[in-house]
Amino acid sequence: MELEDEEERKRQLYDDHQGGHGEREADAGDRRSLSLEIEGESSSVQKPALSSSWRAAAASFRESLSRSLSLNQQHDHQEIDDEAELKWAAVERLPTLDRLHTSVFEFHGDSDSVGSLLELQMVDVRRLGAAERRMVVDTLIANIHRDNLRLLRPPTVEVRWHDVCVEAECQVVQGKPLPTIWNAAISNLSAVSSMLGFNRQHSRIRILNGISGVVKPSKLTLLLGPPGCGKTTLLKALAGKLNANLKVTGEIEYNGVKLSDFVPEKTAAYIDQYDLHVPEMTVRETIDFSARFQGVGNRAEIMKEVIRREKEAGINPDPDVDTYMKAISVEGLERSIQTDYIMKIMGLDICADIMVGDAMRRGISGGEKKRLTTGEMIVGPSKALFMDEISTGLDSSTTFQIVSCLQQLAHISESTILVSLLQPAPETYELFDEIILMAEGRIVYHGSKSCIMSFFESCGFKCPERKGAADFLQEVLSRKDQQQYWSWRETYNFVSIDQFCDKFRVSQIGQNLAREISTPYDRLEGHKNSLSYSIYSLSKWELLKACFARELLLMKRNAFIYITKTLQLGLLAAITGTVFLRTHMGVDRVHANYYMGSLFYALILLMVNGFPELAMAISRLPVFYKQRDYCFYPAWAYAVPAFILKVPVSLVESIAWTSISYFLIGYTPEASRFFCHLLVLFLIHTGALSMFRCVASYCQTMVAGSVGGTMSFLVILLFGGFIIPRSSMPNWLKWGFWLSPLSYAEISLTVNEFFAPRWLKVFSTPG
């Protein structure tokens, strides 16, 4: 009844308002003259002319309208809640596997308009398109500091190291090692004598000297120090990537677990200053394949348990979070919503579909490559990031943007991040929470950024007002620059690194740090999923499928090369057919040598056609070694697709050559011999591609690869049996004939052609 009375009151006010409006329309001229009088006279005289009853009616109308809108909105929200309840009830009635892939998602319109919520729909998270994924991500991070905390609450990692020493064994060089012939000869003789056990002179160099510290989650820590102080060695030691030739002592623990008890390559990521990416792939494809190799989507069992507990407790989860969590738990998807989320956080969504590029291909900028290098790792299960000199080649503005992204990542996802910078700008320095200052392989200061200046002031050194803090911290440790910062009245004496370390050890910050490191980590605080115990995140079959997909993508991007090679072979086949034209050659003993020459030329040409594979393989080696060391995939998973997917290429190129040259030259016109001819050329072409890939994997550089490829080809050519017949080879070199694949191919083609009936007639005829 109250709602009906409210509606009746609204209609009455509306009729009164419409009646007044009609009267005013009839007296429009009087209203215009009245307005002129109002402009000329004082407003205080004209205000009483306004009807107080009209003002009261207008106020009542506004009040009733607002109450009506409020009631309507409450009614709409009630309908939405009822609809959501029905949708969730329908989801809960689905079988377990279907419920794992089905969610209720809110499709929004313009967020500024009233009633922007369009509808609730049941969606299959396996079939989310690009627009839907982008809508989910935009909804999730509308309030990034609130929403990301409920999404990215992963298991955290605390990294501790205690009394870590790293030593390298070096050979003592006598005299000045100038690059002269005499010094080179002496060095070689010294190396030979050392191999025989004589004249061994080695020295141990200590890179890290008994350092201790801790890097906590949700903290962005800056590692400062002059070049050669051991920053890179410390980062590699914490990430478990030190060279096996180095001697390491001390303890490094992740959540109280030693490095030898889990797989640090999957738990932490060491990111060096070089950005190694496949230039033919886009930003989205790079992160997508990284997510796929690192096992994003292998959370089906966890989601089943979550869904079971939600059903038992009668909980309807937040639609956005439920859609996101189910989407990232789906296995085998080529594109993951996790990729869109990481790109949004790292600011890569604006260049998502742009190729990475390199020195010869235009692509993304240097700062975007740095962010891509970081995003490629954080999309996976890595809980700790150790980043070495990420500002190399970048301006201060780009460095600031990258560190801002890292700060956001550390605070939101509670990641453990340790960043090494050589000379950060003041605004970049202010983004960090803690500072580790190193010099001469020792830690001078390790603690909060807010306390570091007071520590050095207690040592007698003060940073000038217009001096950058990072520059001051590095210069105050230098013998040449230290004196200018002395602030005490006493006579200045150089303060060595050992003295700084002793003062830090007895300071309150140093004592608190030592007390924290000595206290054992409570393993009950660490989650069982915070550390990785398996080398690879996928099964062997899934690894193979992912490598096949990437290799196929790269072949499509390089399709121009394969098409050009095929057209080149077709053109050369036509030219060769005109040189050895069948109308100019007869089936006799004289022209048999011409046929033999054309067969040998075909073999040589198809082998040389595989030489571009050498350059392509070498260009991808840096990315392969990087991803192999990160335990993305083993070497066999990379090599098998590269071989199998080149088989169709070899077949097409062999068909292009054989179908044109076979009948132009006039080989035996029999179907069986044609296909045998094609099979031999196909096998020799496939073998040539594999040989050049093998040379590339051993030589690893373009210069060495060109030399190695040429030498391999010449050796095979020399022992092929055509240039030097086997009967003319010395007995001690005849083994080379049977090792050359060219000799087997030539024998096969010769037997296939000259054992035809038409040639048997010629050879059976005497003379």
pLDDT digits (tens, 9 = 90+) for 130-143: 566 666 556 555 54
Please give the single-letter amino acid code of residue 491.
Answer: T
Q: Over the Cα atoms of the chain, what is R_g?
A: 38
Residue-level pLDDT at 57 = 44
Query: Residue 45 is part of which domain span?
Result: 1-93
CA angle (320, 323, 328) in 5-degree steps: 125
Residue 700 makes CB contacts below 8 A (sequence gap 6+) with 618, 621
Residue-level pLDDT at 54 = 41
Q: Is residue 574 part of a domain?
A: yes
Q: Is residue 225 part of a domain?
A: no
Residues 83 and 100 in one domain: no
The answer to whether residues 344 and 137 touch, using CB atoms and an 8 Å cutoff, is yes
Residues 19 and 133 in one domain: no
Continuous segment of H or E residues that includes residue 277: none
Q: Is residue 513 part of a domain?
A: no
Beta bridge partners, 205, equal 168
Q: Is residue 367 part of a domain?
A: no
The answer to whether residues 212 and 249 touch, using CB atoms and an 8 Å cutoff, is no
Last residue of a domain, one of 93, 118, 153: 93
| Cα 275–chain centre separation | 10
Give the residue from 477, 485, 480, 478 showing the smallest Cα distance to 461: 485
Residues 641 and 739 in one domain: yes
Q: How many structural domains comprise the chain?
A: 3
Spell out where 225-279 has E strands: 247-254, 257-258, 268-271
CA angle (37, 41, 46) in 5-degree steps: 80
Residues 137 and 3 in one domain: no
Whole-angstrom Cα distance, residue 167 to residue 145?
Answer: 44
Both tokens assigned to 583: 């109308």
Q: What are phi and psi of 159, to 5 degrees?
A: -105, 125
Residues 19 and 140 in one domain: no
Both tokens assigned to 24: 């005013």
Continuous segment of H or E residues that includes residue 296: none
Residues 129 and 45 in one domain: no
Helix spans in 448-507 (H): 452-458, 469-475, 497-506
Residues 742 and 706 in one domain: yes
Q: Is 543 exposed, middle or buried (0-12, 13-18, 19+ CB in 10 A)?
A: buried
Residue-level pLDDT at 16 = 46
Residues 52 and 119 in one domain: no
Give the residue from 348, 207, 196 showing the smallest Cα distance to 286: 348
Q: Is residue 302 part of a domain?
A: yes
Dmax (CA) of the chain: 139
Residues 297 and 310 in one domain: yes
Whole-angstrom Cα distance, residue 307 to residue 286?
Answer: 32
The answer to whether residues 76 and 305 touch, using CB atoms and an 8 Å cutoff, is no
Q: Using 50 as the pLDDT threshold, list the residues of the chain that sit under it.
A: 1-4, 6-7, 10-59, 61-62, 64-73, 75, 110-118, 143-153, 298, 332
Last residue of a domain, one of 354, 386, 413: 354
Residues 89 and 126 in one domain: no
Whole-angstrom Cα distance, residue 697 to residue 708?
Answer: 11
The answer to whether residues 242 and 168 touch, using CB atoms and an 8 Å cutoff, is no
The answer to whether residues 720 and 633 touch, using CB atoms and an 8 Å cutoff, is no
Question: 369: helix, coil or strand?
Answer: helix
Give the residue from 23, 537, 8, 587 showing the smallest Cα distance to 293: 537
Residues 85 and 109 in one domain: no
Q: Is residue 707 part of a domain?
A: yes
Please give the single-letter amino acid code of residue 553.
Answer: L
Q: Is residue 685 part of a domain?
A: yes
Residues 552 and 593 in one domain: yes
Q: Is residue 327 part of a domain?
A: yes
Last residue of a domain, one of 74, 93, 112: 93
